Structure 1
Amino acid sequence: MANAYVLVINSGSSSLKFAVIDSQSGDAVLSGLGECFGMSNPTMNWKYAGTKYDVSITGGGDHHKLAIKRLVEIINEYGLAEQVTAVGHRIVHGGEKFTKTIRINEEILAEIIKLSDLAPLHNPAGAKGIEAAIEAFPTLPQFAVFDTAFHQTMPSKAFTCTISNELYKEHGIRRYGFHGTSHYFVSREAAKVIDKPIEESSFISVHLGNGASVCAIKDGQSVDTSMGFTPLAGLMMGTRCGDIDPGIIEFLMKKGWTQEQIFSELNKNSGFLGVSGLTSDARGILEAMEEGHKGATLAFQVFTYRVAKYIASYMVTLDSLDAIIFTGGIGENALPIRREILKYLKIFGYKENEAANADARFGARGIITEDGTPVAMVIPTNEEFVIAQQSAALL
């Protein structure tokens, strides 16, 4: 019997990430990225059977459509067309309406576009990817998997913003949270590691990458998370500021800054980049810190301190804690960052196992604390697998 593959599409404003995933094993049969859309030199690269390919996207018009047209050719070229049974789309914002994966029709697509007010940089791009995929694969069922869906189990005490309730009722201003597919996946995998049903397991999931968030998971459900109404809230990130005093916005406006300048600063010139004055990349921060760069050292200190504070604060949301889970590009690979965070948590009994921590990198998973002490572990995330699984489950 042929394997059932799902084409997973993650459409950004200037990029298109894609993968053909085996919905049973989670293996990526084909994966790639189209980028620099809207610019003069859009490109597309992919990996198949261990070989990497790289081409320019030629022709005028919509680069998302051109990329998906090329993707169709690639799928046909490798003989995968008959095995692809569905298309799953990562959609950033589902608001309060979408609490689970759903099959896309005209009404659902219109709702996704309508939610663009809540995610103006992401949902329009996701909708564009859906439209292009429907045109390219008209006979395949298409599904939307929402970053926000996993967090819709948060209680009102966790998602309520401390502003006028009228603003919530009129504009939907509340905490939504993001990275839901990642937190969902790693918590299920962590439950397997400790050999406990997910419905009886509680974790603090720490997704650290260019975007970063913490999630408290009780009995398998999200009960709190650090990102808020937008992905700008919570932890310091690659270029995003995370939590700041909102009075800073008023202060800068009085200094003559425009709305566009302020939010460009908070989204694109803050975080690792802003504090270090050097780079948004954690690898560059760690390298520069070793060379004595003061800005990089400060960025490292601020980041690890704030992550540890969030982890500690989320312990109050749980009756018990089975493990802290590190995931995401930084969480899976940046040994000094995990080590520093665990040092901050020593008051709770966490003690690093140096050898295990060093081993749990570059795709390897494992418990990184000493036996007999509270458990922290590394679980590589696989959001594409979640999208493929949940899409296939609805066929």
Structure 2
Amino acid sequence: MTVLVLNCGSSSIKYQLIDPAGPTRLAKGIVERIGEDDGVADHAVALRRIIDELERECGPLAGLGLAAVGHRIVHGGDKFAEPTLVDDDVERVIEDLSPLAPLHNPPGLTALRLARRELPDVPHVAVFDTAFHQTLPPAAYTYALDRDLAARYGVRRYGFHGTSVSYVSRAAARLLDRDPADTNLVVLHLGNGASATAVRGGRSVDTSMGMTPLEGLVMGTRTGDIDPGALLYLHREAGLSVDDLDRLVNRSSGLLGLAGANDLREVHRLAKAGDAAAQLARELYCYRIRHYVGAYLAVLGRTHAIVFTAGVGENDSWVRSHSLGGLRHLGVEVDHVRNSFAGSRAQIISPDEADVTVLVIPTNEELEIARQASDLVTAPSS
């Protein structure tokens, strides 16, 4: 039994062919620069290329026991709390939700429609980044906004990176030799996009990203938390339009706005060379993480582990140690020897005697999508 996982962006489609029972990855790849002069014409051509490449590498898809095609869809709003078998009605709801994620949902929906056309006899399953956070309590997902206006337009906290957090939470429980239902975690998904999530007993109870993936931690090009009044001020005083402000907070802020580089490796290089702006950028980056860790330790009460994952979380020992520095009085400490060797596998980087275990766990969103899709299509019908 295999699952084809498609992760579609505006100009790329990443794919993996996975046997989730193994788990075994049979193939992976990416088609980039879709719609650009030096790339393929459109998503339809890209998907056809993916299918042709898979069949060259693995043989006809009909002979591979393809159980499902799993699709990463970023925003499910409050409509989808679990992986969902796709039909025309589901497609329409995803399209209706596109204003909540205009950069993410449309390309995902494009790939979904094309894949259903190319592979009509295979079940297609949508796995939503927001679904894991549908367990947030009202006090965590509600904004203190006029309630009628908020309800009319769906303004609330949805949270993102849920597919990654779901995978990592179970992996952390295994590493701790605990039942996931009896495990409390703070999960730090740190990549170009970054978020913190409080997980109690396998369920999300608070998360730093909000209605959109903009809120919370400092990110590669996004501001994270900012006073909305600052944007109103820039609109009035600097003459920035709504579109200008959108580009500012999503594409030219964060590490890029602070240090001139959105890649932390370059920020580190600049900081070590004495660049004061880069030094402040990485200090702020870690300060914001520490701020959320402290908040979520309070939310959870007894916390069993803090988990670092994704590109920065898995590979940047400096960020890990500086993000948790000064928290020893809360039972949080990093062993600097263990931390320096962490990254390629799940491991503990805190001292044995620490009250709160600190973990590094590589995420695997594609495997999580494959497993969720497989579980859905093989579940006995009621």
Q: Structure 2-normalised TM-score?
A: 0.95
15-24 vs 157-166, greater mean Cα deviation: 15-24
Give the aligned partner of residue 35 of structure 1: 32
Q: In structure 1, what is the equivalent of residue 82 of structure 2? A: 100
Instruction: State which of 153, 161, 171 in structure 1 corresponds to 2:135.
Output: 153
Structure 2 portions without partners, runs of 5+: 378-382
CA contact (8 A) 2:333 2:358 kept: no
Alignment partner of 2:246 out of 255, 263, 284: 263
Using the alignment, how far apart are the partners of 1:194 and 1:188 within structure 2? 10
SS class of match (2:351): coil
Corresponding position: 1:7 with 2:4: yes
1:152-172: CA deviation from partner (whole Å, max 9, x where unpaired) = 000000000011101221011
CA distance in structure 1 between the partners assigned to 2:94 and 2:187 by the alignment: 27
Give the counterpart letter for 1:8 in structure 2: V
1:238-264 per-residue CA deviation (whole Å, 9 max, x = no partner) reads 000000010111111112111111110
Offset of residue 229 of structure 1: 0.4
**Does 2:51 correspond to 1:72?**
yes
Q: Which residue does the alignment assign to 1:184?
A: 166
Q: Residue 364 of structure 1 corresponds to which residue in structure 2?
A: 345
| 1:331 shift after superposition | 0.3
Distance 1:345 1:169, change over 3 A: same
By how many angstroms is 1:139 displaced? 1.2
User: Within the alignment, does 1:16 sit opposite 2:30 as a pair?
Assistant: no
1:390 matched residue in structure 2: 372
Q: Deviations over 1:122-141 (max 9, x none)?
A: 11111101011112111111
The 2-side partners of 1:66 and 1:295 are apart by 44
Shift of 1:281: 0.4
Q: Which amino acid aligns with 1:41?
A: D
Q: Which digits, 9 at most, give the CA deviation of each residue in 1:272-310, with x for residues without a partner? A: 10111x210011111222222222111110000000000
Tell whether 2:115 aligns with 1:133: yes
Q: Choose from 206, 222, 227 the match for 1:240.
A: 222
- Aligned residue among 144, 168, 174 for 1:162: 144
User: Residues 286-342 of structure 1: CA distance to partner in whole angstroms, max 9, x if unpaired?
Assistant: 122222222211111000000000010011211310100000100000010001012
* Pairwise CA distance, 1:25: 2.8
Residues 150 and 180 of structure 1 are in contact (CA less than 8 Å); yes or no, is this contact kept in structure 2? Answer: yes
> For residue 381 of structure 1, what is the aligned residue in structure 2?
363
Kept in 2, the 8 Å contact 1:275–1:295? The answer is yes
Partners of 2:142 and 2:134 lie apart in 1 by 12
TM (norm. structure 1) is 0.92
2:317 and 2:374 map into 1 onto residues whose CA distance is 36
Inter-partner Cα distance in structure 1 for 2:271 and 2:24:
36
Q: Given the alignment of the two structures, is residue 144 of structure 1 paired with residue 123 of structure 2, yes or no?
A: no
Q: 1:80, 1:20 → 2: CA distance?
A: 13
Q: How has the CA–CA distance of structure 1 residues 220 and 80 changed in structure 2, closer, same or farther, with 3 Å as cutoff?
A: farther
CA RMSD in angstroms comes to 1.1
After TM superposition, give the deviation of residue 80 of structure 1 in Å: 5.4
Query: Higher mean Cα deviation, 292-301 or 179-188?
Result: 292-301
8 Å CA contact retained: 1:305, 1:344? no
- For the Cα contact (< 8 Å) 2:193–2:219, is it kept in 1? yes
The structure 1 residue matched to 2:91, chosen from 88, 104, 109, is 109
Cα pair 2:185 2:305 within 8 Å, conserved: yes
Identity %: 41
Q: 1:149-228 to 2 correspondence within 5 Å?
A: 149-228=131-210
Aligned residue for 1:49? none
1:204-233 per-position Cα deviation (integer Å, ceiling 9, x unaligned): 000000000000000110000000000000
1:11–1:126 Cα contact (<8 Å) kept: yes
Name the SS of the counterpart of 2:36 in structure 1: coil
Shift in Å, 1:27: 3.2
Equivalent AA in structure 2 for residue 67 of structure 1: A
The answer on whether the counterparts of 1:308 and 1:344 sit within 8 Å (CA) in structure 2 is no
SS of equivalent to 1:316 = helix
Equivalences, count: 372
Does the CA-based 8 Å contact 2:31-2:50 persist in structure 1? no
